[in-house]
Structure 1
Amino acid sequence: MGDKTVRVTEAQIQQKLNERLAVPFSLLKIFDVNLSNALVTFDKTTGRMYTTFDTRLSSALLDEAYAGKLGLSGKLRFDAPTQAVVMDETEIDKFELDGMQAKQADMLNALAKKLGSQMLNGLPLYTVKPEDLTIGNRHYQPKEMLVTDKGLQITLSPQP
């Protein structure tokens, strides 16, 4: 038995992100951030994943809650100990909130870029299923991961 391939689609990653980030999180215990409706694209040239979220930000410091868009990207790698695809070199590419004053928006944008990148770095996006790693008595180990324009392609090799 030779290598086998597991394909992970944009839709699968979008679903995992929506599940993982469905719970609002807090920035500095001041701002509550809700992310939803992940839209994922892959760039095979750079090996990066680009994601846009619908975003809602609220805080006791603000008069109202704001809605907008958060765009982030990250380089993908396979983490062998956890059998998961994780995002590294995470960057907040865009953070726009509708109706917010420019001065507040600039401050929040800088905060989001700094803290958001740190919080999302190393985020697990997909874990290889146990049933993909074992067929009969044969155990497979991830060998390589390729980012394509359609998703991820993980090659599994049989262990001796």
Structure 2
Amino acid sequence: MSSELDRRTVSERRRLVLQLGVATALAGVLPLGACATFPFLPDHYTFSVAEMQRAVARKFPYHKRISQIVDLTLDDPVLGTRPDANRLSIGAHAHIESPFLQAPADGHFVLTSALAYDRERQAIVLRSPAIDSLDFPDLSGPYRGEIRGALELAVSQLLEGFPIYTFKPDQLSFAGVHYEPGEINVLPKGVRVQIVER
């Protein structure tokens, strides 16, 4: 009886050592900013402002002719976070030309956007971007509303659904079990995306 108990104890120890060895080996391949609670998968991913800035910068400079009366160019985007509203902010320079203006107008705007998960593309995307502030010092008063409308249309077409991060297949599945982003939280220095079983 004692011999059998000893054999079981040795077997259990070997199994535990093997599990720890595999877990330790795989821990080295987990992404930065991730903490493993699922077997060999993190329970969240964290994206820095710098990572998201690089993603957004790929869409700029952007040129759009709107309703054949406004030529709009957007450039120099700067991404930030609004943790209090759980939104990202994007500020950019805007250059506008129109036959209705005496001269081209330059200004700056800031928009904010929510974040959502697009399951089809397996990506975290911008959702419902909206102009938060608009500053065109040399633009005459009567046209301010029209300029804001043109900007909102262009921004909506440019950034709605734009992916700031696309997951690789092995980041959301393991051994036939599938996972997906759950809660998305905007933090002061980035975005934290919870990973849950689908």
* Runs of 5+ consecutive residues of structure 1 not aligned to the other structure: none
Q: Give 2:114's aligned residue.
A: 75
User: In structure 2, how many angstroms separate the alpha carbons of the residues matched to 1:101 and 1:20?
Assistant: 29
Structure 2 length normalisation: TM-score? 0.65
Query: For structure 1, which segment, 118-127 or 64-73, has the greater mean C-alpha deviation from structure 2 after superposition?
Result: 118-127
Aligned ranges 1:19-34 → 2 under 5 Å: 19-34=58-73
Q: Do 1:42 and 1:151's aligned partners in 2 also have CA atoms closer than 8 Å?
A: yes
Q: Give 1:44's aligned residue.
A: 83
User: In structure 1, how many angstroms separate the alpha carbons of the residues matched to 2:74 and 2:151?
Assistant: 13
Determine which structure has greater relative contact order: mean sequence separation of CA pairs < 8 Å that are 6+ residues apart, divided by chain length: 1
Larger Rg: 2
Give the percent of matched residue pairs that are identical in Structure 1 and Structure 2: 15
1:126 to 149, 164, 176: 164
Report the alpha carbon displacement of residue 52 of structure 1 after superposing the two structures with TM: 0.9
Segments ≥4 residues shifted beyond 4 Å: 134-140
Bigger proportion of residues as strand: 1
Report the alpha carbon displacement of residue 43 of structure 1 after superposing the two structures with TM: 2.3
Report the alpha carbon displacement of residue 134 of structure 1 after superposing the two structures with TM: 6.7
Alpha-carbon distance change, 16 to 67 in structure 1, aligned in 2, over 3 angstroms: same
Q: Do 2:77 and 2:93's aligned partners in 1 also have CA atoms closer than 8 Å?
A: yes
* Runs of 5+ consecutive residues of structure 2 not aligned to the other structure: 1-38
Structure 1 length normalisation: TM-score? 0.78
Query: For structure 1, which segment, 140-149 or 13-22, has the greater mean C-alpha deviation from structure 2 after superposition?
Result: 140-149
Work out whether 1:94 is the aligned partner of 2:133. yes
Q: Give 1:154's aligned residue.
A: 193
Bigger proportion of residues as helix: 2
Q: Secondary structure in 1 aligned to 2:80?
A: strand
Report the alpha carbon displacement of residue 117 of structure 1 after superposing the two structures with TM: 5.8
The residue identity in structure 2 corresponding to 1:130 is K
| 1:9-58 CA-partner distances (Å, limit 9, x unpaired) | 21222222221132312222322222222222222332111111111112
Root-mean-square deviation (CA, aligned residues, Å) is 2.8
